[in-house]
Chain A
């Protein structure tokens, strides 16, 4: 990960090197902002820097973070997925609806498997049918959401009295939520793939310059297919955790998680133009945004301000990205 920090750093040969350039902000602003906010909250709130609060924070953010890791991958690859929200819902709803007939774990696996399969379908549309990913995943998102409604007929399914169903979202292992363990594992896995494997290099190359990637012998279509498969898988896992946490398969949540995940990736400094980004950035992005919410709650600041400020931060991040890219 340190290597990625160096390699996507600012232009090393700029003669008039200034600290106040947009690209410097894109690279390092998130680190500064994260540290400042962390210190600020630790100083002003008695509760913030407690083990309980931090663990809760991590547990709350686990589904968003898992999605955000996959989003980082997909954005580096130069693509976007608007259907991920529907896949979060589909996975959770399947798990809840299949619980009575098949049990907890088969239900989760089928839900995650279905979301992954939908990801493959998205990838096929984008890579092989060559539909723009914004448009195709907008459409497939509606389809996936519709499929889920057909399955549930819009009913809210609640699972009671089965502890195994609560494992992913509510139980702990070695004092830490299972969901947090999964978040850590998936973060490490995605980070390893992106920075240490052939596949990762291909993801960067395809996102950075698909023409050059193809002429270098990279199977651009296969890489894209895989990227969409990964976000399908991540959405499936996030959906399973959310369902397990609430004991319900809710047909009306999901979209907000996707937008939180996407915001976190952008705030972290991964470029929406493709070809650059890193998982550690997304980790900071997720918890920076989470700390704003958490801190505001602890400090009793109105939830209305939170919305405005979150929106402004995302806007700032995207603007800095656009400015620094146009300067190159």
Chain B
């Protein structure tokens, strides 16, 4: 336990920061490659940012550096030595810690106990609480803040919980700390304080890897910036040579060769099907108002945490919210998914495995789950009718399954997603909310889903499309609403230039024009309204 003494010897203590190198890292999730041959060197004592679009692989790379994710291939070299992590514990032993978006604390235990969790001081299993307190006080002084040691972690704000995580990393003698989107859940002032704290930490020698999509923070804080795009390394540069716009320019650009089906615009006299007015929820989103007409696909674009999914869930009645949602002019009073499904709403949720399907149940049960009324006769469920209904739905969405009664988990991701969609087509809804409809599925299945969404819109449905792949939103939607920090900040016509949408999402207003074509659309900036 003497190592802890070294780590907390006081404000003058300087840590020898870790030098970490990643070579040719490849990480695949199913068919999709999250990282493809990425190499990067994190110099000791620096603050090194990892930036990129949604899904560029920045979080994955950060987790791989900290041993929280194991790559499929590639090497990690710490201080010149090749290491092979099997778990985050191996990384911690080398002095590398991660502060994840999901904080890893025991909320019911005290601050002090959490800081020393897993590295308790004492002899023969008996806690030495006095020494723990002493070291805790030293740490607090070194970091320049003084949390109460005895309060339960659950009672702290997220910002303070993060500081506790940092303290824990230091108690474990961390020489490098990976911070994954540390400011995403913080207010502006809290974020500012965290940046100050990070600078102080860096001044004591600790190496910091800072994963974030807040480019202003990155530019103000970091020494070096690595830009990733579609799982590939774009560049590693000194932060002083970059501007927000130069960064945005290098992280975007059409990269997928996906063919989107031709858009048929809704007729001019198409009626408004979905109408959202002043939808709001504390700390999530506010002043959300828009309409979707029959036959129209409206896309919601924005960064992770901008409120896309939260808005979708609120419209569907899955989460409570203020404001009004109307379908075909009628205000929806029901506040539950159950009530809103009856009024013609349907939602393909963000995660088919956790929210969409009952994985252990067969295809037919999953397909009819939301509309069992249509297969019920006087003496219970009608098996023949169900076979017929499910068969028709499977053909309609082109699901390839050996039988209707095979467990859904034995299907491929693409076919699972098609079943999630088929579930909502047993009775045709008026509004379809599709949240990440193509996440984690192969290109062929993606195209299938695209065509189906178009066909459904062409049939008069109002479609709200959410995707973190900006190409997808621009390629499919007739209209795109851009969200930033829970507000609609811009609106574009479908087929708008990707640069301009991304700049709106990142809050970068200067248009450098590099690589951007003349925009064939009209842009209306809603911020002034």
Contact = CB atoms under 8 A, between A and B. Distances in A.
Contacts of A13: 402, 406, 410
B354 A211 contact: yes
Contacts of A12: 402-403, 406-407, 410
Nearest to B373: A198
A209 interface: yes
A111 to B, nearest CB: 30
A211 B350 CA distance: 12
Contacts of B423: 216
A155 interface: no
B409 A212 contact: no
For chain A, the bracket of interface size reads: 20 to 34
A205 interface: yes
Interface string A180-215: 000000000000100011101110110011011111
B405 A11 contact: no
Most buried by B among A201, A213, A214: A201
Contacts of B357: 209, 212
Contacts of A7: 361-362, 365, 405, 407
A162 interface: no
B409 A201 contact: no
Interface in B351-408: 354-362, 365, 368-370, 372-373, 376, 379-381, 383, 402-403, 405-407
A215 B338 CA distance: 8
Contacts of B376: 197-198
Interface string B254-282: 00000000000000000000000000000
A141 interface: no
Contacts of A211: 354-355
B341 interface: yes
Specify which of A3, A216, A219 lies most central, judged by the most chain B CB atoms within 10 Å of its CB: A216
Contacts of B406: 12-13
B369 A205 contact: yes
A196 B379 CA distance: 8
B393 to A, nearest CB: 14
Contacts, number: 101
A204 B380 contact: no
B208 interface: no
A8 B423 CA distance: 20
A6 interface: yes
Interface string B405-449: 111011000000000000100000000000000000000000000
A215 B359 contact: no
A214 B358 CA distance: 11
A327 to B, nearest CB: 11
A279 B482 CA distance: 52
Given A204-B358, A205-B369, A6 B381 contact: no
Given A216-B423, A217-B341, A11 B410 contact: yes
Contacts of B336: 219
B210 interface: no
A8 B409 CA distance: 12
A14 B409 CA distance: 11
24 contacts: A7-B365, A8-B360, A8-B407, A11-B409, A12-B403, A14-B410, A197-B381, A198-B372, A200-B381, A204-B365, A205-B361, A208-B358, A208-B360, A212-B355, A214-B337, A214-B338, A215-B347, A215-B355, A216-B341, A217-B337, A217-B341, A218-B338, A219-B338, A276-B361
Interface of A: 3, 6-9, 11-14, 192, 196-198, 200-202, 204-205, 208-209, 211-219, 275-276, 328
Interface of B: 316, 318, 336-338, 341-342, 347, 349, 354-362, 365, 368-370, 372-373, 376, 379-381, 383, 402-403, 405-407, 409-410, 423
Q: Which 6 A-B pairs have the closest CB atoms?
A: A208-B358, A217-B341, A196-B380, A216-B370, A198-B372, A7-B362
